[in-house]
Chains A and B, each alone.
Chain A
């Protein structure tokens, strides 16, 4: 669903200088989806999708509800299995390993979970762990999964809380935080695993309007520090400020792929024109 907010409601200028961007474009591919197919029953949700994301690149994906954006992101993180094609991310063939004779064998839960440690994911509904304090939400995976010492993990967590602007909240529980604060904790929690790529699935769609910018600011900050990001969002301000590329998904396919300047001013696809007219006329 397009966001019902006038374009330009928040002024964000593109602060990334071209020199930095060019250096980024030369980065190695870090996420490569090749001819990915995904079905839910008879519903063909991803149709032969190919997408390459380079190290340090920020890619924004938009498109109508139901066009398969979340599914693509979940497939990249192997939260969904794919039915065709392959996804290479952070040096892993996601969800599979090469068996005898080059045949692909699906991974068990243990190995699949190890692959996911190189990627962080932020969800629309935050999904913080309600039974744990903010600090433990952030430290639980480093301490329990990767075996970082509690002292080290807590120091890192405090650093991250500082970075997302919540240094005072470490002993709070998620239920005591506003939506914007919860989402910032969720970003800190994902960063605590020191991911190489961050995936965002409509991180601001569940937020009250006044909280959106506090989350976007953290994301823009992250992009400036060179994090590779794939972001599903309809926040055009964010796309303009941080994206290297904007994609439009329609009916399980990527139908437009362009730099933000071209995407918003001279899109090629009819779907993009229609999509833009819908968000811009509100």
Chain B
């Protein structure tokens, strides 16, 4: 084995790699944002009273959780053009990751919402709240606590999963590592360098996640000073009258 610290250090902070890191970060964020939005929509479709929406949601989740992301990505990038739908690398990667994340997040959101007891729905209905009021003021604030931890795990996975986009030549961290390894004949240093970057990203996210969870996981009824409680109350029951 001939390990070269010199190459390792050079790779680690080379502009080429840093660009790859940056691509991985924004690709993860974009896919996560879009995927979670899609997941929320699919979750509500699956809980809908409308039969057809429910069927669509179930089929979507079944399909996207039942096939490997790698296959989905290749299909979107190389098979769709053959039926006349040509998408660029970036679009393909984002679409594949979004659909994949959406399917998983839908079940997380659904579980979170179902975790809020039926008594809460009864009470809010009895107070004259319609579906929107119930969701906005009662159910979602309580479901968020349940959703935050798995949401954090999904983002951790997403950071690593974006490396699959390298197969459709998305220039993210992993693909740049492969290329660097080939050009410079420094396989060991290049891949260790990639590992370090992934580790750094997931560690930073882990810290953020810890704080988020601590924030949302306090038992209801924190011992807040009066000012804080009052401010929170004002936020929750703002002065602006809602549309009845």
Residues of chain A touching chain B, judged by Cβ–Cβ distance below 8 Å, are 77, 79, 109-110, 113-114, 116-117, 119-121, 123, 125, 127-133, 135-136, 139-141, 143-151, 153, 171-176, 186, 189-190, 193
Contact = CB atoms under 8 A, between A and B. Distances in A.
B236 interface: yes
A175 B236 CA distance: 18
Contacts, number: 121
Interface string B169-209: 00000000000000000000000000000000000000000
Given A109-B130, A130-B142, A171-B226, A153 B237 contact: yes
Interface size class of B (residues with CB under 8 A): 35 or more
Interface string B122-145: 111111111101000110011000
Given A109-B131, A175-B221, A127 B239 contact: no
Contacts of A141: 124, 127-129, 133
User: By DSSP majority rule, is chain B's interface helix, strand, loop, or mixed?
Assistant: helix
B5 interface: no
B120 interface: yes
Nearest to B138: A129
Contacts of A150: 234, 237-239
A117 B244 CA distance: 11
A191 to B, nearest CB: 11
Nearest to B145: A131
A123 B122 CA distance: 9
B126 A116 contact: yes
Nearest to B220: A130
A231 to B, nearest CB: 15
A113 B220 contact: no
B119 interface: yes
Given A131-B220, A139-B237, A79 B120 contact: no
B48 to A, nearest CB: 12
Contact of A147 (B129, B131, B242): B242
Closest 5 CB pairs of A and B: A173-B221, A147-B241, A117-B128, A127-B123, A121-B126
Interface in B57-108: none
28 contacts: A79-B122, A79-B125, A110-B131, A113-B125, A113-B128, A114-B128, A116-B126, A127-B119, A129-B142, A135-B233, A136-B233, A139-B237, A141-B129, A141-B133, A143-B237, A145-B127, A145-B130, A145-B133, A145-B244, A147-B242, A148-B241, A149-B239, A149-B241, A150-B238, A171-B226, A172-B221, A175-B221, A186-B123
